[in-house]
Structure 1
Amino acid sequence: MMAAVTSRAVMPIEMMRPLRGVMGVMPVSVPGGAVMRAGRSRRREGGDHRDQQSDCRKTKATTKRTKLNHTRCPHQHPQFHPANRAGQRGRLMHFGMWRDQDPRANHFVTVRPLTPLSCATRTTNRVNQGLRRWREIAMFQRVRASSRHYAKGIAMPFATTKDHVQLYYEEAGDGTPILFLHEFAGDYASWEPQMRYFSRGHRCITYSARGYTPSHVPDSDADYDFQHVRDDAIAMLDQLRIAAAHFVGLSMGAYSALQVALQVPSRVLSLTLAGIGSGFEAERLEAYRARCRAEADEFERGGASEITKLAGLTPGRIPFLVKDPRGFRDFHDALGEHDANGSARTMRNFQGARPPLSEFKEAIAKLTLPTLIMVGDEDDACIDASLFLKQQIATSGLAMFPRSGHVLNLEEPALFNAALEKFLALAEAGRWGPRDPRSVRA
């Protein structure tokens, strides 16, 4: 059930749009004086819809609730919904549920009569329309519910990279900044459990990488190499005028976070590298790259269904499915909404072409940043790489999650947040130093 909007909140445009095929035109006022039009305006037999709107505006200030009777003849339905006036609340009936309209927007709605049908046919059609519409609303809520910019009617925020690619981002909270970088099968919304938790004491930023909507999807394969993705993270800091931030990355995002630390360590306060290192093993590298190229081709041929089938059920994600089927279903559904071309180019040119961590061994050994490495004990593809980083970075700590796979922040959000919170507190206090040489086995 959709929650009613209070007098202090502006309902997102898509959530206020009436059922397609039932309502007519609903102009919506947004802050700043702009007018957005949802749905299609159509003329009712016997009059012009503009005349109906004019009549609607002339309706007395007293607002009455009008319930649409879906079981009676459609011509008995009221033709106009009373206009909202300042300080009053108008409600619109959708399948037996009242929905509030924003009292500050002075909305008005005209109702188009339905085509005369038998009651049984009309009821079936309306139920089918309702199911489709509510699925659209559910998708809209999942993708946009956390967007304070969209909810307030503000233009969606984008950061522009040096090669003119626009990256969608969201931020919440105040304090020392944390930049979250998502994995291949995620996007900006996959960090929602961490955004909600850490924004209580930090300025948290999450963004969708290039190729992941609502960020832009470049057409050229050359725009998806690891240097471009690394520089995108730096562009986010530049856009928000942040000198340095804590970097928290998962898988693909962890690799990019490490590359930023190697390239410009002054922009990084600390590193959290979770599920990093797929394709690390030298004996498996060529097979891994060949599989990435093959999967990219499948994404382009099969679209979103192939993404969920190939990338959504890899061995490292099975522990998530086993322990939390409901959470995995949300993750799987979100993965099915990815842009197939963007996913294919990312898989082919980033996942399947990036250098393995072993090629950066000397540079990694010189890192002095506080570093937390997280890995699931059932994420076989990343365990060796995590141990390698622990051995090379003197200021690193390793956390291995029991009975866990690759998607650590969603699979074990409480454990992930607790480990990260303690690490950030010690790093900010200057208490996360290098390993004592006396603890190293001779």
Structure 2
Amino acid sequence: MAWINTKDGLEIYYERQGEGTPIVFQSGYMGIHDIWKDQVKLLKESYLCITHDNRGYGLSSKPVDSSFYTMEKNAEDLKSVLDANNIAEPILLVAHSIGSLASLAFVTKYPQLVKGIIMAGGGSFTGESVLKAGGNEEMFAASQTTPSEAQQFYQRLGCSSEIALEASKWQPTVFKNQTRAMLYYTADTKLLSLDVPVLVIHGKDDIVSTKESVYEIVENLPNAEWLEMENVNHFPQLEHPQNLNVIIENFIAKYFN
């Protein structure tokens, strides 16, 4: 466990476990590293697993000003974590929810560092599609104005009570700032010719990410595949961790060997 300093003066907490092909996990709206614990527990036996707390969450710095929150800044935080661990080889990037937007921002700027992307509970290709589906800052923020509401919000999405309880510790401004970062992210046109393999996973019972907005990722990335998981809401890594682990290992076997 350690912290790295970002270019804009924040501290980002990260953990490194295992050795081998690097698998780097990018969290989303539930921006803590703990959501990947069941993946790391298994995969660290064969791979190098890197997790971190997003800015605004967990053990990382929590600035209040909204200017600190963009998908591009999340991508730069990820690059700083890789640099701190001397990782220069292409990684498998496993992202969740709006972390998928951060992964798109990352691969846009650093395509040489990404060999494959798995979007588990993928968000959308752009924030605009979320807006079209009826999402807005007020809607997301209104569901998390108190500690108890924040905890209940994440439990409804498929988090365990233990993980969801973490959300009760965060300031409402964090949710609002991250929502704004999501809604106003615009994917770069470079992605339309991206040759990196991408697997987009959608929970069939997802109550927050619509199938249409998530599938937009597949429609815009030339080397993307679609997988729908039965009996999964928004957190496949917590709801059916063993199934997701198999999916990750199969992806590695297909594209990394």
Query: Where do residues 157-196 of structure 1 align in structure 2 (5 Å cutoff)?
Result: 157-196=2-41
TM-score (norm 1): 0.53
Corresponding residue to 1:256 among 95, 102, 117: 102
Cα distance in 2 for partners of 1:408, 1:338 equals: 23
SS of equivalent residue, structure 1 residue 391: helix
SS of equivalent residue, structure 1 residue 178: strand
Corresponding residue to 2:205 among 378, 381, 390: 378
Q: Which residue of 1 aligns with 2:181?
A: 350
Answering whether residue 79 of structure 2 is matched by residue 241 of structure 1, we say: no
Query: Where do residues 80-159 of structure 1 align in structure 2 (5 Å cutoff)?
Result: 149=1, 157-159=2-4
> Post-superposition shift, 1:331?
2.7
1:196-238: CA deviation from partner (whole Å, max 9, x where unpaired): 1110111101000000021001131101122211211111111
Cα distance in 2 for partners of 1:203, 1:240 equals: 11
Cα distance in 1 for partners of 2:242, 2:82 equals: 27
Corresponding residue to 2:149 among 306, 311, 317: 306
More strand by share: 2
Which residue type is aligned with residue 206 of structure 1? T
- Segments ≥4 residues shifted beyond 6 Å: none
1:264-317: CA deviation from partner (whole Å, max 9, x where unpaired): 10111211112223586748538312xx23543775xx44223224x3255xx2
Corresponding residue to 2:233 among 405, 418, 442: 405
Answering whether residue 210 of structure 2 is matched by residue 368 of structure 1, we say: no
> Post-superposition shift, 1:370?
1.8
When residues 224 and 283 of structure 1 are mapped into structure 2, their CA distance, relative to the original with a 3 A threshold, is: closer
Cα distance in 1 for partners of 2:71, 2:225 equals: 25
Larger Rg: 1
Cα distance in 2 for partners of 1:405, 1:296 equals: 20
Residues 74 and 102 in structure 2, CA contact (< 8 A), matched pair in contact too: yes
> Post-superposition shift, 1:336?
2.1
Q: Percent identity?
A: 22
Cα distance in 2 for partners of 1:332, 1:411 equals: 13
Aligned residues: 254
Answering whether residue 116 of structure 2 is matched by residue 288 of structure 1, we say: no
1:119-150: CA deviation from partner (whole Å, max 9, x where unpaired): xxxxxxxxxxxxxxxxxxxxxxxxxxxxxx5x
Cα distance in 2 for partners of 1:397, 1:286 equals: 22
The runs of 5 or more residues in structure 2 that have no matched partner are: none
Higher relative contact order (CA 8 A, sep 6+): 2
Residues 18 and 45 in structure 2, CA contact (< 8 A), matched pair in contact too: yes
Which residue type is aligned with residue 401 of structure 1? M
Cα distance in 2 for partners of 1:254, 1:213 equals: 19
Query: What CA RMSD, in Å, does the superposition of the two structures yield over aligned residues?
Result: 2.4
Cα distance in 2 for partners of 1:285, 1:234 equals: 31
Residues 116 and 198 in structure 2, CA contact (< 8 A), matched pair in contact too: yes
Residues 178 and 202 in structure 1, CA contact (< 8 A), matched pair in contact too: yes
Cα distance in 1 for partners of 2:32, 2:108 equals: 24
SS of equivalent residue, structure 2 residue 40: helix
The runs of 5 or more residues in structure 1 that have no matched partner are: 1-148, 150-156, 321-326, 430-442
Q: Which residue of 2 aligns with 1:72?
A: none
